[in-house]
């Protein structure tokens, strides 16, 4: 438990360790969990759910489908999202309201672009471009499942055959980029 001068007025339901290590063992554990998960991804929260800042690791395996969405916050909040790849490679697609890809970025732990901050209201999706990809995510909290994401409804829901085909099409966009560079 952290010292009692914590800015939290009440102790969290689960004691928060003073130091949370992000080491290779954690990345390996998260990758293994993601590979076994039906969604082919897994989060490891560093934050408590009511925290005003969400900080977590996201392990993704090829084949995971992230339905295009954006984040918005009411009042003085911000729907920004920040990604930093710690292991492997992840593709980020930014889409317009029609669902057309307007920008694509390859984020890679060993590449020239490792992270990106996305402004509020930007529709986006993620594509696992390598096995065992892990990224650190940062966004405003607290997490409210009913209002956290505004989905682009023209894209299939997770868990559907159409979602599998869509993820494969997005991954091919990045594979075509890789072939053009060779």
Question: pLDDT tens for residues 68-108?
Answer: 999 877 766 678 999 999 999 999 999 999 999 999 999 99
Does a structural domain hold residue 18? no
3-state secondary structure of 35: helix
pLDDT above 60 for 11? no
Per-residue pLDDT of 114-151, as tens digits, reads 999 999 999 999 999 999 999 999 999 888 877 788 99
CA 90 vs CA 1, 38, 107, 153: distances in Å: 34, 19, 5, 23
- For the chain, give the mean pLDDT: 90
Taking each continuous run of H as one helix and of E as one strand, the counts in the chain are 2, 10
Does a structural domain hold residue 128? yes
Q: What is the mean pLDDT of residues 9-35?
A: 85
* Nearest CA among 136, 122, 118, 149 for reference residue 43: 136
Q: Say how many C-beta atoms besides its own lie within 10 A of residue 93's C-beta.
A: 19
| β-pair type (133-140, 123-128) | unpaired
Residue predicted with more confidence, 182 or 128: 128
Question: Domain with 172 in it: what CATH number?
Answer: 2.60.120.10
**pLDDT score for 157:** 97
**pLDDT score for 74:** 73
Domain extent at residue 72: 24-181
Q: What is the mean pLDDT of residues 171-179?
A: 84
Backbone angles phi and psi of 165, in degrees to 5: -65, -40
* End-to-end CA gap in the chain: 51
Does a structural domain hold residue 6? no
Find the range with the poorest average confidence among 7-16, 78-87, 151-160, 173-182: 7-16
Domain count, the chain: 1
Predicted TM-score (pTM) of the model is 0.88
Does a structural domain hold residue 12? no
- Residue count of the chain: 182
pLDDT above 50 for 5? no
């Amino acid at each position: 438990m952290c010292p009692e001068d914590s800015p939290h007025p009440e102790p969290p339901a689960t004691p928060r360790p003073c130091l949370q290590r992000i080491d290779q063992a954690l990345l390996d554990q998260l990758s293994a969990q993601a590979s076994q998960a039906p969604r082919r991804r897994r989060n490891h929260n560093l934050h408590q759910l009511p925290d005003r800042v969400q900080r977590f690791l996201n392990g993704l395996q090829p084949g995971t489908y992230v339905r295009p969405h954006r984040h918005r916050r009411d009042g003085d909040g911000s729907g920004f999202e920040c990604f930093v790849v710690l292991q492997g490679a992840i593709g980020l697609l930014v889409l317009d309201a029609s669902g057309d890809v307007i920008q694509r970025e390859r984020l890679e732990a060993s590449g020239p672009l490792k992270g990106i901050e996305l402004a509020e209201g930007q529709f986006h999706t993620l594509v696992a471009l390598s096995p065992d990809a892990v990224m650190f995510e940062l966004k405003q909290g607290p997490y409210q499942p009913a209002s956290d994401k505004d989905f682009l409804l023209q894209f299939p829901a997770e868990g559907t055959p159409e979602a599998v085909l869509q993820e494969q099409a997005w991954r091919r966009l990045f594979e075509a980029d890789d072939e053009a560079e060779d």
